[in-house]
Structure 1
Amino acid sequence: MKSKHRYSQTEVDALYRTIAERRDMRHFTPEPLENGLLSRLLMVANQAPSVGLMQPWRFIRITDIALKHSIKSLVEIERNSTVDLLDTRKNEFLKLKVEGILECAELIVVALPDGREKHIFGRRTMPDMDLASVSCAIQNMWLTARAEGIGLGWVSLFDPTLLAELLNMPKQSRPIAILCIGHVEKFYEKPMLVEQNWIEPTPSEQLIFENSWESTN
């Protein structure tokens, strides 16, 4: 039986479509975002669920071009360190575009703040729930950006200590993501790593167990 609280079928279909067509974008065009769109993306981020309503997210908008180049350099350092660990897939990895820092319209660094230890509710045995909460905030931005026809890419190739120092972040804070946001010529038909033959997604039925952990061998 369908819930009496269910949205209209058109709204439900739009939600499923947005989730299915969300992409981690790396290729951007230089047009600026429309006025107010970035504010709306940050607003929906702040509406994300968080354990104990601690709202453990901070957003740093990067507008200085020299700082953007410095952040890109940190990504390149980590990219080069990563490629050294890939053995037979080095050449494949080097062909992948891993960021759009200088091309995107908006660059946002998402971070965990200092002082998180004071939030005990829901974190006594699972302190990493602050990270889970921030991930929900980023997902809100991602889905809203896709619904608005705007690309968003989550860059995680960086040393968090070096990025924190670059941005004068307080001790015990922690950068989580570099978000590249902007217009795109088109969205990838499939996730970029699938299109580039890097990996294939695992079917959901292989990831769902019942009552206990099942062997995947």
Structure 2
Amino acid sequence: MQFTDKDENRLMQLMLHRRDIRGNNFLSQELTEQELEKILLAATTAPSVGLSQPWKFVIIRDKQIRQMVYRNFELETHRARQKFSLEAQQQYQQLKLDGIIEAPVNIAVYYTSPENPIIGNNTIPEVGEYSVVCAIQNMWLMARAMNIGMGWVSILNPSVVDDILKAPAGHKLIAYLCIGHVKEFYDIPELEKLNWERRKSLYASIVHNQFSEDYETAHDHRQK
């Protein structure tokens, strides 16, 4: 199958306008089973090492379960906030960093450890987990193409979430996602809009052939 310049531009627009959605932007409108199935189907088309497809999706609509997850989010948020300067802590406290309660659907995405050897998975075993991340990116892009929002909640203790969801041995939590219809998609990412961070230029992320001593000196300077 061959694609056109129009298809290329449309894909770039989807990537440019993908957003991490928070609870203050979700609508109460329910997701249909057909909408959810499209997003999950997109996930399963992702590349995976050795065609292992090592993903498992736990769909969570139960309010009590989400409330338990949210309590852990509150605890971990309080702990995380202490790592920043006092000024940053004040701004941090004003940020809405989840949509666990507000989104109609939560999805916990797990990596499942292989029972048998996987082609390409021996030297760098983490590539199995990276495969799951590829699936998550597919979900994000498909959701955006459907004008549905998705947010990734990373301020959680995986062990606590495992206990809440009764995850079996051999399952590793990769992402906790909140999905639903939204009020709006911001023109630029919210943290960029609030000047929490600035977007890097493409060229700041490129190294040709090898890392140089000049790169190390510049990197050390940035760390200081």
Q: TM-score, normalised by structure 2?
A: 0.90
Q: In structure 2, what is the equivalent of residue 132 of structure 1?
A: 130
Q: In structure 1, what is the equivalent of residue 109 of structure 2?
A: 110
- 8 A contact 2:29–2:104 mirrored in 1: yes
Q: In structure 1, what is the equivalent of residue 207 of structure 2?
A: 209
Q: In structure 2, what is the equivalent of residue 9 of structure 1?
A: 5
- Aligned partner of residue 169 in structure 1, secondary structure: coil
Q: In structure 1, what is the equivalent of residue 76 of structure 2?
A: 78
CA displacement at 1:120 relative to structure 2: 3.4
CA separation in 2, counterparts of 1:41 and 1:145?
6
Tell me whether 1:176 sits opposite 2:181 in the alignment.
no
CA displacement at 1:96 relative to structure 2: 1.1
CA displacement at 1:117 relative to structure 2: 5.8
CA separation in 1, counterparts of 2:153 and 2:33?
24
CA displacement at 1:124 relative to structure 2: 1.4
CA separation in 1, counterparts of 2:165 and 2:146?
29
CA separation in 2, counterparts of 1:131 and 1:193?
26
Counterparts of 1:1-217 in structure 2 under 5 Å?
6-26=2-22, 27-88=25-86, 89-113=88-112, 115-116=113-114, 118-214=116-212, 215=215, 217=218
In the TM superposition, structure 1's runs of 4+ consecutive aligned residues that sit over 6 Å from their partners are none
CA separation in 2, counterparts of 1:97 and 1:193?
10
The CA RMSD over aligned residues, in Å, is 1.4
Q: Percent identity over the alignment?
A: 35
CA displacement at 1:147 relative to structure 2: 0.6
Alignment size in residue pairs: 212
CA separation in 2, counterparts of 1:152 and 1:9?
27
CA separation in 1, counterparts of 2:73 and 2:43?
24
CA displacement at 1:131 relative to structure 2: 1.4
CA displacement at 1:87 relative to structure 2: 2.6
CA separation in 1, counterparts of 2:39 and 2:147?
12
- 8 A contact 2:49–2:118 mirrored in 1: no
CA displacement at 1:44 relative to structure 2: 0.8
Q: TM-score, normalised by structure 1?
A: 0.93
Which structure is higher in helix share? 2
- 8 A contact 1:112–1:134 mirrored in 2: yes
* More divergent stretch after superposition (6-15 vs 122-131): 6-15
CA separation in 1, counterparts of 2:133 and 2:108?
13
Change beyond 3 A, Cα 1:206–1:151: same
CA separation in 1, counterparts of 2:186 and 2:194?
11
- 8 A contact 2:26–2:102 mirrored in 1: yes
CA separation in 1, counterparts of 2:89 and 2:62?
32
- 8 A contact 1:78–1:157 mirrored in 2: yes
Change beyond 3 A, Cα 1:170–1:35: closer
Q: Where does the alignment leave 5 or more consecutive residues of structure 2 unmatched? A: 219-224
